[in-house]
């Protein structure tokens, strides 16, 4: 039996009188990859923030031990000095700094010695990026990176201090299968060096592929523990929820063959001087769910952002058969287009406002009369929406930061759906949510399509696109490289189309022209 690297004993923490953790006991062996599972709101992220010093010692009750010795962390910096690295679920980077500066942020000195030379910083950053299989430069501005690339920068930042304990909260939420395998290779190498890893995920196949043991949090306590030889995806599902959960996608009625509501012609998008979407054309019909598949950097997010007016574009865009100019989100909303953003912390939620305001922000004109908001109408709408979407919160005035990832995602859905859009753009709609909430979202999307809403869904999870869409478009390097109807393709077909395009793009022009 390996010795214990991490012990969290009798941990209790409450937010405004609501217990998030209630006598929680977690024990993790040295040099293992330990999955921490549970539904949104079970207390997983809260426990990791205690282990990392985000919630300091005076904020909770209980005992923490690292390698058998009691510890009392007062900040994340203090925890890092004790050998604990942490990668949070939400993206936390400094956009106007370079990749290398972000990786070494707060770690530019070796102890109390002089500043580390800049050349050394760039070289070490380049090596870390290479270990993660990343091709972007350490000199690149983080503002130029996609959400998935920013998350990988955060992982590199945690690894630069060579932690003995690494805490990962949904590290693959933005990543595609290729990037996930690269990350797993790094984690297995760290395990080989006796690094202890605590790994939060809602993707149970990842647990079966990567982890040595699993603990399931339910209602703030460890409800069940599993050794690797006990892993079973159905048992893990049931342990997380306390009841049996259907794992398949909801039944999807064929699209009604309604009129075209959105059409793109020779549509191109450039961001920060780089082409992201290149001369693509497609149509989206009423009541249809059209999936956008592709690997990291394919242009999925940029495509949806441009349609919504967040990024400039060239080419033509038609809504209900009429050519339109969409240069802002105001233009898009006026045409009945709604967007659920990929990054709820950066682009979606308003953390300085309560739950109520996060639902009604941008929609108050729907609740106003003679220029004044009707407080009773707002209250009734918010309470009805919370009940309909099963948002778990103490009240409509609850603090958004204390809600689980799944409940935060439901708030964004509530805001986007409030004006009843006829075209709905969904960018990674189940990012960072648990199994039960994920299937609630799937049922909601299927229901919206049945009501005639046209849905364009981009996701880093190929299974999600293939299981939910009536039709799938595959993007690679901003080009459409394949298109097929539901049940005509699988993950292998998507990856084959992307690989074929990549191989062709790398072939010298002279050899392509050879007979």
pLDDT digits 0-9 by tens, 114-139:
667 888 888 889 988 888 777 888 89
Q: What is the pLDDT of residues 52-67, one digit of tens each?
A: 999 998 889 999 999 9
Q: Given the DSSP bridges, would you call strands 479-485 and 471-476 parallel, antiparallel or unpaired?
A: antiparallel
- Looking at residue 38, its pLDDT comes to 87
Q: What is the pLDDT of residues 453-508, one digit of tens each?
A: 999 999 888 888 999 999 999 998 899 999 999 889 888 888 888 888 766 655 44
- Looking at residue 114, its pLDDT comes to 61
Binned at pLDDT 50, 70 and 90, residue 183 comes out as: confident
- Kindly list the domain boundaries of the chain, sorted by start residue: 4-246, 248-336+421-505, 347-420
pLDDT higher than threshold 60 for residue 68: yes
272, HSE (Cβ side, Cα atoms, 13 Å): 8
Q: How far apart (Å, rounded) are the C-alpha atoms in residues 340 and 431?
A: 11
Contact predicate 414/389, CB 8 Å: yes
Three-state SS for 99? helix
Angle at the Cα of 73 from the Cα atoms of 187 and 91, rounded to 5 degrees: 50
**Is the model more confident about 297 or about 21?**
21
State the architecture of 4-246 in CATH terms: 3-Layer(aba) Sandwich (3.40)
**SS3 labels along 30-98:** CCCEEEEECCCCCCHHHHHHHHCCCCCHHHCEEEEEECCEEECCCCHHHHHHCCEEEECCCCCCCCCCE
Q: How far apart (Å, rounded) are the C-alpha atoms in residues 254 and 249?
A: 14
Predicted TM-score (pTM) of this structure: 0.65
User: What is the average pLDDT across 131-158?
Assistant: 85
Q: How far apart (Å, rounded) are the C-alpha atoms in residues 181 and 384?
A: 42
| DSSP-assigned beta bridge partners for residue 166 | 85, 197
Enter the CATH code of domain 248-336+421-505: 3.40.50.300
| DSSP-assigned beta bridge partners for residue 70 | 65
Identical fold, 4-246 and 248-336+421-505: yes
Q: What is the pLDDT of residues 324-333, one digit of tens each?
A: 999 999 999 9
- Looking at residue 457, its pLDDT comes to 96
**Is the model more confident about 147 or about 197?**
197
Binned at pLDDT 50, 70 and 90, residue 148 comes out as: confident
């Amino acid at each position: 039996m390996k010795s214990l690297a991490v012990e969290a004993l009798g941990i209790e923490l409450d937010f405004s009188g609501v217990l998030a953790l209630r006598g929680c006991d977690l024990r993790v062996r040295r040099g293992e990859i330990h999955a921490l599972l549970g539904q949104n709101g079970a207390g997983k992220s809260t426990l990791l923030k205690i282990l990392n010093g985000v919630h300091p010692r005076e904020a909770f009750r209980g005992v923490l031990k690292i390698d058998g010795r009691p510890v009392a962390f007062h900040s994340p910096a203090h925890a890092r000095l004790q050998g604990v690295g942490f990668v949070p679920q939400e993206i936390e980077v400094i956009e106007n700094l370079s990749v290398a500066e972000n990786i070494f942020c707060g770690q530019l000195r070796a102890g109390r010695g002089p500043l580390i030379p800049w050349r050394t910083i760039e070289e070490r950053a380049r090596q870390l990026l290479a270990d993660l299989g990343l091709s972007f430069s350490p000199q690149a501005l983080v503002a130029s990176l996609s959400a998935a690339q920013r998350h990988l920068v955060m992982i590199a930042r945690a690894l630069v201090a060579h932690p003995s304990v690494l805490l990962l909260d949904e590290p693959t939420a933005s990543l595609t299968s290729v990037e996930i395998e690269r990350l797993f290779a790094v984690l297995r190498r760290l395990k080989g060096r006796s690094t202890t890893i605590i790994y939060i995920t809602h993707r149970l196949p990842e647990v079966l592929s990567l982890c040595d043991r699993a603990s399931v949090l339910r209602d703030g306590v460890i409800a069940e523990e599993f050794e690797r030889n006990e892993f079973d995806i159905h048992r893990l599902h049931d342990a997380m929820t306390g009841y049996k959960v259907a794992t398949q996608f909801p039944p999807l009625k064929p699209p009604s063959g309604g009129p075209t509501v959105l059409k793109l012609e020779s549509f191109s998008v450039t961001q920060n001087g780089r082409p992201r979407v290149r001369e693509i054309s497609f149509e989206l019909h009423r009541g249809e769910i059209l999936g956008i598949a592709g690997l990291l950097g394919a242009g999925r997010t940029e495509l949806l952002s441009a349609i919504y007016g967040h990024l400039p574009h060239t080419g033509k865009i038609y809504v209900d058969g009429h050519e339109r100019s969409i240069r802002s989100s105001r233009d898009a909303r006026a045409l009945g287009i709604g967007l659920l953003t990929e990054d709820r912390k950066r682009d979606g939620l308003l953390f300085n406002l309560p739950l109520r305001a996060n639902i009604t922000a941008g929609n108050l004109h729907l609740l106003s009369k003679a220029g004044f908001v009707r407080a009773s109408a707002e209250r009734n709408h918010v309470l009805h929406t919370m009940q309909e979407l099963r948002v778990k919160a103490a009240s409509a005035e609850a603090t958004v930061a204390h809600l689980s990832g799944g409940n935060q995602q439901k708030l964004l859905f509530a805001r986007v759906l409030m004006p009843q859009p006829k075209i709905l753009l969904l960018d990674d709609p189940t990012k960072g949510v648990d199994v039960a909430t994920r299937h609630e979202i799937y049922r909601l999307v299927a229901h919206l399509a049945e009501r005639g809403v046209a849905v364009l869904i981009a996701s880093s999870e190929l299974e999600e696109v293939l299981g939910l869409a009536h039709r799938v478009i595959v993007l690679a390097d901003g080009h459409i490289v394949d298109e097929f109807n539901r049940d005509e393709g699988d993950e292998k077909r998507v990856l084959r189309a992307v690989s074929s395009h990549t191989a062709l793009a790398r072939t010298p022009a002279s050899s392509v022209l050879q007979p």
